[in-house]
Structure 1
């Protein structure tokens, strides 16, 4: 598939169904693109569709099945959009929370493979039903451990507002969880004593 260059072709691309309830259009909105006039469109639509389907089918749909509707806060970014955001962030401007393009290949930049030639895709999401029930310090770990025990994620990174989190599908998953919410830092990663086994005691209260 060629990169969409017209309203009609972009409309058809946005109508691409990635999973039971998600379509490509759900992942294309960007505040940076909207304010600065960028077209947030993949150069390689086929790769974006391939990884988007894995992200939706293997991660987002199961979360939605368990907790109800999830809200997508940020997802696909073109290299142009992400690169501009990264530059603004380095300049100290607020609201531009983008790592470098190199770090976001096979992450927020769905349509470019990473330096190891691997595919991946990231979305930042909110689970409203979880936030409505669990807002105490450290409660985000309940959701993190449930995802860790249940789903084939690669990376999770949690944020303070609504306990939003980046969730990544990657063909070589790292299985790492970190947070900017207290307690900040790395919750688990391979090699840590808490990485293996069941953590049901940490998340069982979610379903009480």
Structure 2
């Protein structure tokens, strides 16, 4: 598939169904693109579709099946959009938090493989039903451990507002959880004593 360059071709691209309930258009909105007039579309649509399909089928659909509707906060970013966001972040402009393009390949930049040639995709999401029930400090860990025990994620990164988090699918999954909300830092990664085995005691009762 060629890069969409017209309303018609972008409409058709947005209609690509990635999974049971998700379409490509669900992942294309960008605050940066909207404010600054960028076209947030992939240079390699086929790679973006392939990576996005795995993100949706392997991670987002199972989450939605278990917890109800999930909300997409930020997902695909073109290299142009992410690069601009990183420039603003490095200039310490408020509201911009994009990492470098190189570190976001196979992350938020779905249509580029990482330095090792692997594909991946990231979305920042909110699980409203979870937030409505669990708002005490560190409650985000309940959801983190549920995902760790049930889904083939690569990385999770949690934020304070609504317990939003980046969830990543990757061909070579890292299996690491970090947080910008309390307790800040790494919850688990390979090699840590808490990484293996069941964590059912940590997430018991969160699924209706």
Give the structure-2-normalised TM-score. 0.99
Residues 101-150 of structure 1: CA deviation (Å, up to 9, x unaligned): 01100000000000000000000000000000000001000000000000
Deviation at 1:207, TM superposition (A): 2.9
Partner of 1:101: 101
User: What is the CA–CA distance in structure 1 between the aligned matches of 2:94 and 2:205, rounded to whole Å?
Assistant: 36
Partner of 1:126: 126
User: What is the CA–CA distance in structure 2 between the aligned matches of 1:200 and 1:73, rounded to whole Å?
Assistant: 28
Give the structure-1-normalised TM-score. 0.99
After TM superposition, what 4+ stretches of structure 1 lie above 6 angstroms from structure 2? Answer: none
User: What is the CA–CA distance in structure 1 between the aligned matches of 2:25 and 2:140, rounded to whole Å?
Assistant: 28
Secondary structure of the corresponding residue to residue 113 of structure 1: coil
Partner of 1:203: 203
Unaligned stretches of 5+ in structure 2? none
Partner of 2:39: 39
Which structure 2 residues correspond to residues 1-208 of structure 1 after superposition, within 5 A?
1-207=1-207
User: What is the CA–CA distance in structure 2 between the aligned matches of 1:148 and 1:159, rounded to whole Å?
Assistant: 17
Deviation at 1:203, TM superposition (A): 0.1
User: What is the CA–CA distance in structure 2 between the aligned matches of 1:156 and 1:116, rounded to whole Å?
Assistant: 20
Contact 2:119 2:171 in 1 (8 A): yes
Unaligned stretches of 5+ in structure 1? none
Residues 59-78 of structure 1: CA deviation (Å, up to 9, x unaligned): 00000000000000000000
Secondary structure of the corresponding residue to residue 131 of structure 2: helix
Residues 52-104 of structure 1: CA deviation (Å, up to 9, x unaligned): 00000000000000000000000000000000000000101011110000110
Deviation at 1:23, TM superposition (A): 0.1
User: What is the CA–CA distance in structure 2 between the aligned matches of 1:92 and 1:169, rounded to whole Å?
Assistant: 29
Secondary structure of the corresponding residue to residue 205 of structure 1: coil
Residues 18-59 of structure 1: CA deviation (Å, up to 9, x unaligned): 000000000000000000000000000000000000000000
Aligned length: 208
Provide the aligned C-alpha RMSD in A: 0.6
Secondary structure of the corresponding residue to residue 207 of structure 1: coil
User: What is the CA–CA distance in structure 1 between the aligned matches of 2:18 and 2:72, rounded to whole Å?
Assistant: 14
